[in-house]
Amino acid sequence: MMDHWQRFKASDLFYDFKRDKVAIVSFAVFVLLFVCAFSAPLIAPYNPYDPANIDIMSSEIPPVWMAGGMDDYILGTDAQGRDLLSTMIYGMRISIVIGLCAVLLQAVIGIVIGLIAGYYGGKLDGFFMRLADVQLSFSYLMVAIFVSAVLQAAVGVGRFAEIAVPFLIIVIGLAQWPQYARTVRASVLAEKKKEYVEAARVTGFNSHRIMWRHILPNCMSPILVLSTIQVANAVMSEAALSFLGLGMPVTRPSLGSLINAGFEYIFSGSWWITAFPGLLLVILVLAVNLLGDFLRDVLNPKLYKG
């Protein structure tokens, strides 16, 4: 463990990281938000899922610095009387969980398909890549609307609320696998021509072992870069679906459904219900995207190896 840490400290990645202020700040912001989100029960002032904490009489209280604000609710309350700060922290947890799990699903599907298509080539490659083209020519929103409509009709709206998290993970995960498949395939095509792969074949290793143990580790840099960007995309996709009312229910809101819920109250003056979750979403996505940009610049061998 110490060995790994020592090696990481000596790596180019860490060297560049120390010199990149944007990367340091965005990394710090991301870690802060991540820790906050996953220690939500410990740091949030209220538990928004507990009906005992919800009082309809204290709905739409403005933030503490405005007239009518209360010290108990720093960022005010939403239309149901929940503390907005607590709801946002819990909502961010849901957004991040869905984002990470959806990217994991995308990565698993995309890496397997990309490896197989790139390594075997020929008809298999043609089939998977045309499948990816077809997939990308659908808007994922259209697919999500269609699937969620069918699901809601099949299991009922009440039950749908319970399966909303896995539903969102699967929809976002399935929608974006071609990104991974294309990236992985491109790297595999470049790697498999190298002589170390031929050396592995001469040794008699089977295709499975060559693909997973020899080629894949050499394709990790673009996968890593893509993953950070895809996490940001998945969080945004989740917010978009929830904003359209296809995602998380109001009882267990994610950032997107909070923005959606507050949207109706903007013109009645309660702008904070939409604005604060929106701001948090922007900060979260921006931090992840800036980290992704940093990784792309550092890990791109064309930019620093010449």
Partner 1 sequence: MMNDMNDAPSAQTPPILSVRALSKVFDISGGLLDQLALKDGRLRRVKTTVKALNRVTFDIAPGETFSVVGESGCGKSTLGRTVIGLYPPNGGEVYYGGQRIDVLSPRQMLPFRRRMQMVFQDPYASLNPRKRVAAILEEPLRFHHPELTAREVGDRVKEVMEQVGGDVQWLTRLPHEFSGGQRQRISIARALVVDPEFIVADEPISALDVSIQAQILNLMMDAREQRGLTYMFIAHDLSVVAHISTRVAVMYLGSLCEVAPAETLFAAPRHPYTQALLSAIPRLGKKKSGHVRLKGEVPTPIHLPTGCVFHGRCRYADERCVREIPELLEKDGGTHVACHGVAEERI
- Asked whether position 214 contacts partner 1 by CB under 8 A, the answer is yes
Query: Of the candidates 18, 159, 194, 208, which one interacts with partner 1 according to CB under 8 A?
Result: 194
Query: Of the candidates 206, 267, 269, 306, which one interacts with partner 1 according to CB under 8 A?
Result: 206
Query: Of the candidates 19, 50, 122, 217, which one interacts with partner 1 according to CB under 8 A?
Result: 217
Q: Taking the CB of residue 127, how many other CB atoms lie within 10 A of it?
A: 12
Q: Which residues pair with 83 in a beta bridge?
A: 77
For residue 253, what are the contacts with CB-CB under 8 A and spacing of at least 6? 48, 87, 90, 91, 94, 242, 261
Contact between 176 and 106 under an 8 Å Cβ cutoff? The reply is yes
Least separation, in Å, of the C-beta of 285 and partner 1?
Answer: 31
Query: Of the candidates 1, 2, 154, 203, which one interacts with partner 1 according to CB under 8 A?
Result: 203
Query: Of the candidates 42, 195, 269, 302, which one interacts with partner 1 according to CB under 8 A?
Result: 195
Specify the residue, 8 or 138, whose C-beta has the smaller distance to partner 1.
8
- Asked whether position 185 contacts partner 1 by CB under 8 A, the answer is no
Least separation, in Å, of the C-beta of 182 and partner 1?
Answer: 18
- Asked whether position 204 contacts partner 1 by CB under 8 A, the answer is yes
> Which of 228, 240, 239, 236 is closest to 289 using CA atoms?
228
The owner of tokens 């945004």 is 236
Query: Of the candidates 27, 34, 205, 265, which one interacts with partner 1 according to CB under 8 A?
Result: 205
Evaluated on CA atoms 13, 18, 23, 26, the torsion sign reads: positive
Query: Of the candidates 199, 266, 282, 303, which one interacts with partner 1 according to CB under 8 A?
Result: 199
- Token pair listed for 239: 């917010």
Q: Which residues pair with 77 in a beta bridge?
A: 83
DSSP category for residue 9: H
- Asked whether position 3 contacts partner 1 by CB under 8 A, the answer is no
Least separation, in Å, of the C-beta of 5 and partner 1?
Answer: 17
Evaluated on CA atoms 54, 247, 182, 139, the torsion sign reads: negative
Contact range with partner 1 by CB under 8 A, out of 30-38, 145-153, 200-208, 261-269: 200-208
Element (H, E) at 280: helix 272-299
Least separation, in Å, of the C-beta of 119 and partner 1?
Answer: 14
Query: Of the candidates 55, 162, 198, 264, which one interacts with partner 1 according to CB under 8 A?
Result: 198
- Asked whether position 218 contacts partner 1 by CB under 8 A, the answer is yes
| Amino acid residing at 50 | D
- Asked whether position 133 contacts partner 1 by CB under 8 A, the answer is no
- Asked whether position 202 contacts partner 1 by CB under 8 A, the answer is yes
- Asked whether position 8 contacts partner 1 by CB under 8 A, the answer is no
Q: 3-class secondary structure for 159-175?
A: HHHHCHHHHHHHHHHHH
Q: How far apart are the first and last CA of the chain?
A: 32
Specify the residue, 82 or 182, whose C-beta has the smaller distance to partner 1.
182
- Asked whether position 212 contacts partner 1 by CB under 8 A, the answer is no
Element (H, E) at 7: helix 2-9
Burial of 150 (0-12, 13-18, 19+ CB in 10 A): exposed
Contact range with partner 1 by CB under 8 A, out of 92-100, 156-164, 177-185, 191-199: 191-199
Residues that bind partner 1 (CB under 8 A): 194-196, 198-206, 214, 217-218
